[in-house]
Amino acid sequence: MTEQQTFDIAVIGAGINGAGIARDAALRGLSVIVFDKNDMCSGCSAISSRLIHGGLRYLEYGEIGLVYESLHERRYLGLTAPHLVEPLRICIPLYEGATRGPLLIRLGMIAYDLLSWRKIVPGHEMLSAERMKEDEPGLAADGLRAAARYYDAQVRFAERLVLENLLAARAAGAEIHTHTEVTGIVVEDDAVSAVSYRDDDGREIRVPVKLVINAAGPWVDRVLDAAPASGKRLIGGTKGSHIIVGCFDGAPRDAFYVEAAADGRPFFIIPWHGQYLIGTTDIRYDGDLDEVRASDEEVDYLLTETNRVFPQAGLSRADVHYAYAGVRPLPYKEEGPESAITRRHIIRENTEIARGLVSIIGGKLTTYRSLAEQAVDKTGKLLGRRLPPCRTRETDLPGAWGLDRAREALEAIGLSEAGIDRLLSIYGGRAAAIARLCADETDLARTLDQAGRVLAAEVVFAIREEFALSLEDIVFRRTMTGLDADQGRPLYDEFAAIAAAELGWSPETLKQQLGQLREYAESLRVG
């Protein structure tokens, strides 16, 4: 990059929306530069329930269009990212006294199926209480009237979905700058002309741009503060928290979508990554966006409700491996229940601040692709350019192809079957490149964990090919070891030594990186 180059678009925020926009825009021939003050997918994109779903609940609020869009995006993602997005069977137990009875749920199921025509997953079925108890013997039987069972999808590693969008964007010519905070949006003659950031040496760098897309999630308003003028508040996010526990007595085989007894709000109990993911909460939040944590009250709420539905579980805080929380970037709404705030995204021109400044409000993992398509269509109009049609509906993400070849390559380096399965679930067909790295640099072919599943090459690959710059990046958002029950802690020192050699860290930097990694991991623990 040179200071003189003018980019068509600067995307601020490398979460799922920013990554999707960058990919779509680059594939359509626009010059794109992406900034994120932290790592990619280090904000709200990583704190979801990790579902690719139609939003069954949105039917309650008349969001038919959103459900239709979500269901069809679910289909496209299942076809273009099958290594990351997998069908997930979900059960809804229906108890006496619940807000949502069997008739309402059945009507919702029928509507869900009708709206998802051309779906690639089976339709719903209604089950008797006896059948549900037979299939899931750990489920509470008292008051159980019936159950519904349907399919949505799960993205085990949302972090990798974001990453692959950024990799595709880079392959199409986009520049990706993580750990780089935009310090100013330059406006000339009431129009955006540049963005500025501070480099590692403290120098202020100005990058000429024609248009800025503010995709900073809950930080959207903070980004707008970098402009010379300010506008009205756009984000009024709600906090969502999840807990991760191990397998418990009576644990279900399928995912469960359950109405909480305390407040009637539905929440999920989902088999995930050899553990169970339980959440989420929905609480208005106006605190520090950089210091969001799951509260004791939220943890206790999720544990209590899970124990009620699965009485044998007996879960306590001691059973929680870790918890994560974040803020949904929902549109600001001064009053009303949190659940009634629309989950539909808004692509807003900030003309009161400057021409050429666009902010993304809301958005979901499921609908990121269609949001990106709409945002790039709008970008073309604002730039006065006739763009080629969007290609992302049919274009595979980078890891979607070559899985058989990748498996053969991993077998050739002697990796265990469990190790092969793990790498394919994370990298898809791109795991073949890791195998090639092992063949070229044989020291990297060694495994680092007792189970023989994690390769030293993954650390180097994350740095060379996936723009990882810190230990936290490598552990939590590249190798995914940070999401294991032990948060990958036994591997920290080995990872650090490899990263230090690759990046040329001094002993002081190495110590600092390890300290920051352990501090972050500890922040996810439940006291």
Claim to verify: residue 410 and residue 492 sit in the same structural domain: yes
Structure tokens at 50: 């990790």
Residue 439 has pLDDT above 50, yes or no: yes
Domain holding 443, by residue range, is 402-523
Is there a domain that residue 59 lies in? no
Q: Are residues 325 and 473 in the same domain?
A: no
Domain boundary pick from 334, 365, 391: 334
**Alpha carbon distance 186, 190 (integer Å):** 10
Residue 134 lies in a domain: yes
Identify whether 458 is part of a domain.
yes
Residue 304: give its domain's CATH number: 3.30.9.10
Residue with more model confidence, 3 or 188 = 188
Question: Which runs of consecutive H residues, i.e. helices, occur in 336-491?
Answer: 368-383, 403-412, 417-427, 431-440, 457-465, 471-477
Provide the pLDDT confidence category of residue 504 given band limits of 50, 70 and 90.
very high
Quick count: other Cβ atoms within 10 Å of Cβ 204? 10
For 478, the token pair is 């590249």
Give me the CATH number covering residue 32.
3.50.50.60
Q: How far apart are CA 239 and CA 154, in angstroms?
A: 21
- Minimal CA–CA distance to 273: which of 113, 97, 486? 486
Nearest to 330 by CA among 286, 267, 269, 376: 286
Which pLDDT value is given to residue 119? 74
The stretch 192-198 carries a mean pLDDT of: 96
Q: Is residue 53 part of a domain?
A: no
Residue 391: inside a domain = no
For the chain, what is the domain count? 3
Is the residue at 54 inside a domain?
no
Looking at the structure, do residues 353 and 453 belong to the same domain, yes or no? no
Same domain, 204 and 267: no
Note whether residue 388 is domain-resident: no
What are the backbone dihedrals phi and psi of residue 336, each rounded to the nearest 5 degrees, phi first?
A: 100, 160
**pLDDT for 340 beyond 70:** no
Binned at pLDDT 50, 70 and 90, residue 338 comes out as: low
225 and 257, same structural domain?
A: no
> Is 266 in the same domain as 126?
yes
Whether residue 501 sits in one domain with residue 484: yes
Nearest Cα neighbor of 18 from 186, 223, 183, 288 is 223
pTM comes to 0.96
At residue 1 the predicted structure's pLDDT band, cuts being 50, 70 and 90, is very low
Q: Give residue 311's Cα distance to chain centre.
A: 31
Residue 115 identity (one-letter amino acid): L
On whether residue 74 sits in a domain, the answer given is no
- What's the mean pLDDT in 354-358? 97
Task: For the chain, give the mean pLDDT.
Answer: 94
- Please tell me whether residues 325 and 248 are part of one structural domain: yes
Same domain, 30 and 88: no
**Structure confidence by residue, pLDDT tens digits, 380-396:** 999 999 999 999 999 99
Model pLDDT, residue 58: 84
Lowest mean pLDDT across 80-94, 96-110, 150-164? 96-110
Residues 434 and 330 in one domain: no
The answer to whether 473 touches 166, Cβ cutoff 8 Å, is no
Predicted confidence at residue 150, as pLDDT, reads 94
Please say if the pLDDT value at position 3 is more than 60.
no
CATH assignment of the domain containing 512: 1.10.8.870
Task: Give mean pLDDT, residues 74-85.
Answer: 96
Mean pLDDT in residue range 450-477:
97
Q: Is the pLDDT of residue 287 over 80?
A: yes
Q: What angle do CA 179, 180, 183 make, to 5 degrees?
A: 145
Q: List the one residue out of 305, 307, 299 whose CA is nearest residue 251.
A: 307
Region 410-416 average pLDDT: 97
The verdict on 218 and 245 lying in the same domain is: no
pLDDT of 145 higher than 70:
yes
Q: Are residues 142 and 223 in the same domain?
A: no
Please report the pLDDT score of residue 2 as a whole number: 45
Pick from 174, 178, 167: which is nearest to 43 by CA?
Answer: 178
Residue 101 in this model has a pLDDT that exceeds 90 = no
In this model, does residue 282 exceed pLDDT 80?
yes
Structure confidence by residue, pLDDT tens digits, 27-42: 999 999 999 999 999 9
